[in-house]
Amino acid sequence: MCNLDSKMNIKTLAAVALNNKDYPDFDSKLAEAARWTEFSARQGADLVVLPEALNLYYGDGNPHAISMQEAALDDWETSTRVLIDCARRNKVAVTIPVIVREEGRLVNCFYLVSREGQVLGRYEKRCPTPSELDSGVRRGRGGLIEWEGLKIGGAICFDCYFPQVFKEQADAGAQLFLMPSLTPGGTYLSYYAMSLATPIVLAYPAYSRIIDLDGRELAGGGYRHETLRFGFGSPVVMTSINFDRVALFGDGNQQKIVALQEEYGGRVRVSFDQENVTFIVESRCEDLRIDEVIQRFELIPKQDFFNACGRQFASSGY
């Protein structure tokens, strides 16, 4: 008998559509971010994603808004201690998206803080907007972040319009993308999730989304909806994802699916996205890793298959 329990690689993810209103100061915005982080943790979240640039605490279009240079943090850990302590106290991981100042330049980034309050790493915005570049924001750099057995990739806002940002991280092994944002992402994100077989968590004030590896929206909501604007409900969307899965393009794999199901029975679950010719095979047992299934049946994960095709095309001069 198989049980889905805490020993499996199942994570409950939350995205907060933090209100993009005017706040009187940074501490007030941090207090609201901490409130919804704690709320998410009490609902069972393992990881909470917040929208871009918490230290830009004025809403869009405010003529008195402070500049990025004025808002930038020189000691971000001290400045955001209330949020770090909240994560540690509630035993939940959290993204802390801020603009920081380093050696005279600005970095638009998010830090990933563990349940224990430890800083695990940061993602830096790869593609700042022209206005950000004019304000002194430098182009980001860096690798993936390790969190509880997963390799975490990232994107921030304008990054979503540049496919190479996602492709490069997927090729490096990203299993989940976190995206604090002040832009909606739209069908770009659905395409990246589906084509790269990697879930995406978007935290955006108007409409946060959690998108599965087949491009389907698992959860969504935000201040685009009048119910939330009228003061009802919470700005938190959540879902649980089993990361012990693999997406397989049909070619080279489809002949093996029935045999796979016959061998493993209820220990695996297979779903088929006919329109995108993609099988998703999921382990349903704590003692069966999806890597074992891949090796046993010599399956080719979707990304590996298309990367190999690309190399073949390049070598043939296509």
- The predicted model gives 124-129 an average pLDDT of 97
The pair of three-digit structure tokens given for residue 265, joined into one six-digit string: 């029975």
What are the residue ranges spanned by the domains of the chain? 10-242, 245-315
Task: Tell me, rounded to whole angstroms, the distance of Cα 192 from its chain centroid.
Answer: 12
Name the band, by pLDDT with cuts 50, 70 and 90, for residue 7.
Answer: low
How far apart are alpha carbons 282 and 302 in whole angstroms? 14
Percent of the chain with pLDDT over 70: 96
pLDDT surpassing 90 at residue 42: yes
With a CB cutoff of 8 Å and minimum separation 6, the contacts of 112 are 93, 94, 95, 119, 120, 121, 122, 123, 145, 147, 152, 178
How far apart are alpha carbons 306 and 250 in whole angstroms? 11
Return the pLDDT at 61: 61
Which amino acid, one-letter code, is at 242?
N
Which DSSP letter does residue 154 get? E
Strand runs (DSSP E) across the chain, as ranges? 10-16, 47-49, 93-102, 105-113, 119-124, 145-147, 150-154, 176-180, 200-203, 208-211, 217-221, 236-242, 245-249, 268-273, 278-283
How far apart are alpha carbons 197 and 136 in whole angstroms? 35
Name the 3-class secondary structure at 140.
coil
How far apart are alpha carbons 84 and 69 in whole angstroms? 23
pLDDT surpassing 60 at residue 5: no
Return the pLDDT at 8: 75
Summarize pLDDT for 92-114 with one digit per residue, the tens.
999 999 999 999 999 999 999 99
CATH 3.90.1170.40 for domain 10-242, yes or no, is no
Name the band, by pLDDT with cuts 50, 70 and 90, for residue 40.
Answer: very high
Return the pLDDT at 232: 95
The pair of three-digit structure tokens given for residue 267, joined into one six-digit string: 């220990």
The pair of three-digit structure tokens given for residue 285, joined into one six-digit string: 């047992």
Return the pLDDT at 59: 73
- β-sheet bridge partners, residue 111: 96, 122
Mean per-residue pLDDT of the chain? 94
Q: How far is CA 233 from CA 39, 111, 302, in A?
A: 12, 28, 38
pLDDT surpassing 90 at residue 2: no
pLDDT surpassing 90 at residue 192: yes
CA quadruple 164, 121, 130, 190: dihedral sign:
positive
How far apart are alpha carbons 166 and 190 in whole angstroms? 12
Percent of the chain with pLDDT over 90: 89
- Contact, 215 vs 22, CB < 8 A? no
- The predicted model gives 35-62 an average pLDDT of 92
Summarize pLDDT for 239-294 with one digit per residue, the tens.
999 999 999 999 999 999 999 999 999 999 999 999 999 999 999 999 999 999 99
Q: How far is CA 216 from CA 173, 190, 191, in A?
A: 21, 7, 10
Return the pLDDT at 318: 64
pLDDT surpassing 90 at residue 185: yes
pLDDT surpassing 80 at residue 21: yes
Return the pLDDT at 6: 47
Which DSSP letter does residue 98 get? E
Which amino acid, one-letter code, is at 306?
F
